[in-house]
Chains A and B, each alone.
Chain A
């Protein structure tokens, strides 16, 4: 087999060449615990509080924007007037009001419906979209006083889902519906500079350095040559029943370890300072699910404790092997996703380290009294996750938030949803309506208070990226991370420019 000589080819007889040892770039990493729940969780309280918390937090922001835009706005000689509450809107009067969107959709799952119709006999299959084909969907604006039905053409152009806070201008018509003329959203929240709470490498890039509270990550006082990368992968989909992409996962591991390919590639791989796993590392086991729906025919008698016939430990064991192989070479952040063994309602709490008997040796030490919690080399985090990586504020999710917004809107454009969430200042607006969520009582952590520099979501159908700008010069890099099990793609984000590129691994 004659193969022409070319660069990067290792198709040659062995030489006595000494190979240089490659050293991986250090990672500057500071996770925040915005989405960590208390150990003691209460589920007695009502979800309604979340909406009011969100409204009180975001109303001032959207009102400010609306005021600037609509101040002195006139239609047919009538000047627009601000109304404080939804119920204060008077018929025929040009006004604007802020509130929470509520989408009334017949196809949306509705617990009251299910109970009243006794629909428990068989659960309906999950829907692709909640949108009604016949246009029976209603858009409403609500606040603590009441609800107002919105109509008008601007609604068609605007992406709206339950739970987002907006301001609308228009008049109430004779039907009692509000004719919308214009819509304003809170838009991007204020953005801090890079290296806001973490400090940059000392002799690294010449950037403005703001030291607020200086808790250095140990691995930060190293020079940071340009071109550092952060790898993001999602949907590894380890499964106990089929192994169709296990070779791809192995190749990914070899690539990230710097074993595959030639020296030049290995050198560039050493620039990858951290791996983020954004959800769905474990595949959904359809078999187990169908077992459950069959119900009591499943098993004659219940066994206490570990039942090896009902539980297949292979997927987590494989994931553990994968992590344990990579961890000696690179730090890993593990975000749970919909199919992962974490709680199902957002915010998902970190996957317990007991799942990873090997990988957890790289985890943080158990916190001792009086000592600040350490960040582990292997960090299992919440979903959504936020933190500072290489000084950038990063917000990432396992993808459920986008998948749920997707059901409300006609668009197939995932990046548009990401952008909309940033502009709504809410990273999970449909929680708690159709996205399962913890009933927060004192604070709605899904509200984005500080604009991230990088916002990524996992488990998306395809890779996509864009950069959006806010009114005050905020810049957000949006990335939709594809499912590795389907595309074989991982995303590399440049730590200086936040540009995203893709590595696609395939087996022909």
Chain B
């Protein structure tokens, strides 16, 4: 019981912290009312030893004197009655029965600094309750900082079940409380869930439901969808990783892959210059249209570290693809205009020598994808990926790999 003095001394005097009765009660695991008394005791004794070392805020409740509450619109009620009587006679039958809800039916709760305590006490007709709310080493300029204590408190009790701690701290308990049987993370169902989605779920929850969490129940598919976004998210992300199609109708799971995709395609913009060459290669435009498309996808996926896609089944996916295709086409068309044909034609050969070293390094890595690419794009002869510095220079700062044909 006595160790509260050491605790308070270290917190307030040494660590310069503001301690509310709730924080104290949680820290020492005592009833809030006991904590209030401890604060008072400590405040008295410390200030007796050395006046002015500790400052307090008080919480008081009771009924205020009517005249003092006018600015607080407390008495406006009386006026309101009059107003009301005036405008209501139009209604036929009964007159409204107004019971005066006078000032004495208003319970005023005021939080006040020690310095202003007497002023506020004077406003009260009757004080039904008073206790120390907090102790702090300096007078508080803005009492609102006390609300930080609540946040601190939430961290402090984050691991405790709110239903069980209730009686310990003096929170009014309620035996009728109904909590959902917690079906937490579908850990069993979702195989290697991406860390992002997994960590997202438990972070906020422990405060509310740490206990049942441990007995995470198996979840059926139906429950899954009923449970709302959190769970759905987990599932969709899993499927996403599995199929490699970063697509889903849900907007929530989308951001991760989607933003990445965006970025990659904007990066892609910078080396899209390479594309026109391919176009010129192809004789059949329709095929060409198709193949660069795959390029885009391949490269995108390399960027986002997602395995290569299966032929898309989902509509969403195909939508996205179609859109991309259009964008790509447009971009190519624009860049075609810019490009000097001759230069482009000649460039690769020159560059090949230029970047020979880099290529040899890169090729080892890229070989595999090249093969895959070659296999898939039947029309092209041999594809190689290498880093190219553009003759014009502005691409040279971004050495990127791209596909190009070797057989001219």
Contacts and interface: CB of A to CB of B under 8 A. Distances in A.
Contacts of B38: 14
B131 A10 contact: yes
A362 B179 contact: yes
Nearest to A359: B208
Contact of B173 (A3, A23, A269, A353): A23
A12 B128 CA distance: 15
A358 B144 CA distance: 24
Contact of A10 (B37, B73, B171, B226): B37
Interface residues of B, number: 102
A399 B204 CA distance: 32
Interface stretch (A43-51, A92-100, A110-118, A327-335): A327-335
Contacts of A261: 59, 61, 109, 128-129, 131
A321 B154 contact: yes
B110 A419 contact: no
A257 B171 contact: yes
A320 B37 CA distance: 31
A259 B23 CA distance: 12
A262 B129 contact: yes
A388 interface: no
B40 A10 contact: yes
A469 interface: yes
Given A19-B33, A330-B174, A367-B226, A503 B93 contact: no
A374 B394 CA distance: 65
Given A14-B1, A261-B109, A506-B109, A250 B174 contact: no
Interface stretch (B254-262, B326-334, B365-373, B385-393): B254-262
A507 B163 contact: no
Interface stretch (A192-200, A284-292, A302-310): A302-310
A218 to B, nearest CB: 7
Nearest to B172: A258
Contacts of A339: none
Given A467-B98, A467-B99, A24 B251 contact: no
Interface in A361-384: 361-368, 376-377
Nearest to A469: B94
Contact of B84 (A366, A415, A463): A415
Nearest to A480: B80
B254 A244 contact: no
A185 interface: yes
Contact of A501 (B105, B172, B182, B228): B105
Contacts of A104: none
Interface string B335-372: 00000000000000000000000000000000000000
A466 B4 CA distance: 50
B92 to A, nearest CB: 7
Contacts of B59: 251, 260-261
Contact of A259 (B92, B114, B170, B226): B170
A17 B165 CA distance: 19
Interface string A251-292: 101110111111111100110000000000000000000000
A274 B41 CA distance: 35
B130 A10 contact: yes
A358 B205 contact: yes
A56 to B, nearest CB: 23
Interface in B147-172: 147, 149-150, 154, 162-163, 166-167, 169-172
B275 interface: no
A33 B176 CA distance: 23
B96 A306 contact: no
Interface in A17-32: 17, 19, 21-24, 26-27
Contact of A246 (B88, B94, B147, B171): B147
B242 interface: no
Interface string A459-503: 000111111111100000010000000010000000000011111
Nearest to B128: A8
A416 B40 CA distance: 48
Contacts of A325: 154, 162
Nearest to A415: B84
Contacts of A331: 174, 176-177
Given A10-B40, A357-B204, A262 B173 contact: no
A184 B171 CA distance: 52
A219 interface: yes
B91 A185 contact: yes
Given A361-B180, A415-B80, A266 B92 contact: no
A19 B31 contact: yes
Given A329-B172, A462-B73, A471-B92, 6 more contacts: A19-B31, A259-B169, A261-B109, A264-B129, A376-B178, A502-B101
19 contacts: A7-B128, A12-B41, A14-B41, A19-B31, A159-B90, A247-B146, A257-B172, A265-B129, A305-B259, A358-B204, A413-B84, A413-B86, A413-B87, A419-B91, A462-B73, A462-B80, A499-B99, A508-B111, A508-B113
